[in-house]
Structure 1
Amino acid sequence: MKDLLEKEDSIKPPQIGKIVEGKLIGKARSAVFLDLGALGTGIIYGKEFLGVKNELKKFKVGDTVFTKVIDLENEEGYVELSLSQASDEITWEELRRKKEKGETMMVKILGANKGGLLAEVLSIPAFLPVSQLLSEHYPRVEGAESSKILTELQKFIGKEMEIKVFDLDPREGKLILSEKAKRSEKVKEILKNYKVGDVVEGEITGITNFGVFIKFPSSAKTTEGEAYNLEGLIHISELDWQLIEDPADIVKVGDKVKAKIISISDDKVSLSLKSLKKDPWIDIEEKYKKGDEVSGKVTKFNPYGAFIAISPKIQGLIHISEFGTKSKMETALKIGEKYKFQILSIDPAVHRMSLKLKEEK
């Protein structure tokens, strides 16, 4: 509160927009009067009075009230004041203080949308994004269907959550909360005991269209003496060497797996399953050579061409330039069909094989 008041000992004239402290000295039917000391007498009236009429009933003569100066001198010679504007400013200052100190608060969830949860903190509307939920509260919905995500989030309405202020902007009225921030520092500290390349054993806890979540115990203990569980992400590209459309084809929730840590950033850890499997491209040049004729199945089209499965673990690409246009490519090739191809080049280092369609004789 002191940060909002004048810090100088000397008395200065009030300025519009400043928060001032006054003692309530009188109440009228549609106004209240405050003694501002050397600054004179202040008044809350008109729309400023009507907007906080019920709140003003809580104050009695002699109480200290913080208000904001909105006019230095009205027609009657009073300093015109606003309680509501001062309350908002004081509230935002309190929220800023809580953010700086990392204080946690309990909030009740009032609503949900596809992006997260809605709440109020000190009467200020607040938003808790999905990305800031604890891992156990994250909506693990296969296919990431927005309607299913919303259904999962709506289950939290009416419940209380322990949160921290993650970000705020009083000018835009933006207040962002985080549930996982309270655990973040603990996780960062524990992750100092791990390094890239470490292999951990854990359990698959969730599957999304972009990968899977794995929970693994650490050497740290909770206050109850149990192992502190960490959770990381295995991106879809790190599940296997083959091209994967659905992570659920590789693992299921509850599966026990070993994974290698490939990245640690702050409180986030990324892992890989395929790093613990033999790279099928290591000895590929012993099996295939430039110019070889191979049989392969068309698995996927993309803007650059078509992916061809030469074996369960090896995918080649036939570039769209071999056909001229996308429509011609999709006319010549059909998803799921097998064709004869010729190998144009092989680059094991970047896992790349270029192909061309073998002409029918």
Structure 2
Amino acid sequence: MTKTTDPQNPMQELLKLTPVFKVPALGALIEGAIVEIVKNRIVVDLGGNLTGVVAGKEIHDEKKTALDLKIGDKIKAVVIMEENEDGLVVLSLRKAAQLNSWDNALKMFEESVTFQVKILEANKGGLLTEAGGLKAFIPVSQLSPVHYPRVEGGNLNRILGKLNAIVGKLLTVKVIGLDAENRKLVLSEKEALSEERDQTLSGLKVGQKVKGTISSIVSYGVFVAFNGLEGLVHISEIAWGHVSDPRQYAKIGDEVEVLIIGLDGGKISLSMKQLRPDPWVEIAQKYKLGDVVESKITRLTPFGVFVQMEGDINGLVHLSEISHKIVRDPADFVKVGQIIKTKIINLDLEEHRIGLSIKALIPNPKEQVTEEPKKPETEKPKENKTEEPEDKTTKEQINTGAEKQSTEEKEAKTKKTPKKTVAKKKTEEPKDEGTKEQKVKKKEPKAKKITKKEK
């Protein structure tokens, strides 16, 4: 039976017979056959009267699929524009690859698959990369111990500097989170290496020697990376002597051999000094209590003075052993670099300590130091102090009397002087009442005159 058209409405009948073509929705994944490839432009037949085009950056995906395409190949692409000015549906191979990558990421997440990524960028929170065309992020907390940026004080600029040093490197990671809304992945290097780390840890034992590389240096020690693991050489295990700054003994990148001295869960304790001869054995043979040694001052502290004995071995002159006087600051008595003589007063080989004394070689002025300060504290001096005003008064009286006596003697002398002058000058005799001696002298001339007249 053949279909007939309605003679009264032929157009309506024709429209019913015409196939209906649906325009693909934005974001839809559709399939088509390549009909033309021209430089950065791929034309795709979508079936019916629809034609699509892939152009520009939308051609390129992470797998570089466009390089192997040819006319007639079927491809899947995502609709990013329903129709452009030429009436073509705009498609994207890049987004199609991302959708495929997302499906793959979901699969890797569910199956806990490990894979490698190249670090593209760093920020203060972690590292940025791509995985299967998807943006991915590795937080700082998810980095392995080898790459973890240890910075004392949490200085963000220094943390960023350490993270930038990882840019361009390949890291083994695992998907630990999915951000479906933003199509981003959260990755972890620590989790990816956990199984390998556990296997390596199970093969370690205390007393084992391992070779590694200095991965980080902090104020409390040195971190050494080996076999995908990392252990700490505490500052007390760097050298046999005192270590004030670990950076004086190692630098990042140095290859070292260390001894495993402790395993506690995932923590590995290492030692550098225990692979070297113990100088304390030589100390025990060379020195004994009471020995006088000549050594160089290496460090001053609030509690004493450190001097170099043998190599890295230092002895301590405690604050109380510097001088017989009260010592508040060692710098008032000695200085760094000075060569001094000391006496060994303590030799503890088990605790690795040497106690020295400077004052033991200096005569002790005990009497001068102890007796003089005690005088003001006794009661007798206090009695003397109370009597001092009376003594002073007596002395003043004596001095006053002596002064009066000397004054009278001076006045007597001054009186004798005019008597002599009166004896020479007769005209002044009547005016001077004089003394008995002067009166005798006055009478003598009268007696002479009487004698002459009688003759």
TM-score by length of 1: 0.51
Matched ranges for 1:250-329 at <5 A? 250-322=249-321, 327-329=328-330
Compared CA separation, residues 244 and 197, structure 1 to 2 (3 A): same
Match of 1:17 in 2: none
Q: Does 1:238 align with 2:248?
A: no
Compared CA separation, residues 303 and 195, structure 1 to 2 (3 A): farther
Compared CA separation, residues 142 and 311, structure 1 to 2 (3 A): farther
**1:183 and 1:134 mapped to 2: Cα distance?**
8
Query: Once superposed, what is the RMSD of the aligned Cα atoms?
Result: 4.4
Q: Letter of the aligned partner of 1:317 in structure 2?
A: L
Match of 1:191 in 2: 201
Match of 2:180 in 1: none
**2:165 and 2:259 mapped to 1: Cα distance?**
34
Matched ranges for 1:323-338 at <5 A? 327-338=328-339
Q: Letter of the aligned partner of 1:318 in structure 2?
A: V
8 A Cα contact 2:172 2:193, kept in partner: no
**1:141 and 1:325 mapped to 2: Cα distance?**
42
Q: Letter of the aligned partner of 1:205 in structure 2?
A: S
Matched ranges for 1:54-69 at <5 A? none
**1:144 and 1:360 mapped to 2: Cα distance?**
50
Q: Letter of the aligned partner of 1:257 in structure 2?
A: V
Q: 2:223 aligns with which of 213, 216, 228?
A: 213
Match of 1:247 in 2: 246
- 1:186 deviation in Å? 3.5
1:314-333 C-alpha deviation (Å, 9 max, x unpaired): 21112233358774323223
SS at match of 2:262: strand
- 1:313 deviation in Å? 2.6
Match of 1:201 in 2: 211
SS at match of 2:146: helix
SS at match of 2:296: strand
Q: Does 1:348 align with 2:349?
A: yes
1:104-135 C-alpha deviation (Å, 9 max, x unpaired): 9x9x99952xxx6599xxxxxx99566x6323
8 A Cα contact 1:188 1:266, kept in partner: no
1:68-117 C-alpha deviation (Å, 9 max, x unpaired): xxxxxxxxxxxxxxxxxxxxxxxxxxxxxx9xx9999x9x99952xxx65
**1:140 and 1:257 mapped to 2: Cα distance?**
20
Q: Letter of the aligned partner of 1:241 in structure 2?
A: W
Higher strand share: 1
Deviates more, 1:234-243 or 1:249-258: 249-258
TM-score by length of 2: 0.42
8 A Cα contact 2:213 2:224, kept in partner: yes
**2:327 and 2:196 mapped to 1: Cα distance?**
51
Match of 1:224 in 2: none
- 1:156 deviation in Å? 7.7
1:155-185 C-alpha deviation (Å, 9 max, x unpaired): 789x9995898xxxxxxxxxxx975355345
8 A Cα contact 2:127 2:163, kept in partner: no
Compared CA separation, residues 162 and 326, structure 1 to 2 (3 A): farther
1:209-261 C-alpha deviation (Å, 9 max, x unpaired): 332232333xxxxxxxxxxx322222222122122233343334443332110
- 1:355 deviation in Å? 1.0
Identity between Structure 1 and Structure 2 (%): 38
**1:297 and 1:146 mapped to 2: Cα distance?**
41
Compared CA separation, residues 153 and 110, structure 1 to 2 (3 A): closer
Matched ranges for 1:147-226 at <5 A? 147-153=157-163, 180-217=190-227
For these two proteins, the number of residue pairs brought into alignment is 232
Compared CA separation, residues 103 and 299, structure 1 to 2 (3 A): farther
Compared CA separation, residues 259 and 152, structure 1 to 2 (3 A): closer
Structure ID, larger Rg: 2
Compared CA separation, residues 153 and 297, structure 1 to 2 (3 A): same
1:173-209 C-alpha deviation (Å, 9 max, x unpaired): xxxx975355345423321211111111233333333
**1:306 and 1:164 mapped to 2: Cα distance?**
56
**1:144 and 1:155 mapped to 2: Cα distance?**
17
SS at match of 1:136: coil
Query: Which has the higher relative contact order, 1 or 2, with Cα contacts under 8 A spaced 6 or more apart?
Result: 1
8 A Cα contact 1:295 1:339, kept in partner: yes
**1:346 and 1:144 mapped to 2: Cα distance?**
42
Q: Letter of the aligned partner of 1:139 in structure 2?
A: P
**2:258 and 2:272 mapped to 1: Cα distance?**
5
**1:275 and 1:192 mapped to 2: Cα distance?**
23
Compared CA separation, residues 103 and 336, structure 1 to 2 (3 A): farther
8 A Cα contact 1:232 1:271, kept in partner: yes
Match of 2:340 in 1: 339
Compared CA separation, residues 277 and 146, structure 1 to 2 (3 A): farther
Compared CA separation, residues 299 and 179, structure 1 to 2 (3 A): farther
**1:163 and 1:357 mapped to 2: Cα distance?**
64
8 A Cα contact 2:122 2:164, kept in partner: no
**1:235 and 1:354 mapped to 2: Cα distance?**
25
**2:300 and 2:143 mapped to 1: Cα distance?**
36
Higher helix share: 2
Match of 1:20 in 2: none
1:247-299 C-alpha deviation (Å, 9 max, x unpaired): 34333444333211011122221211111111111242221111111122222
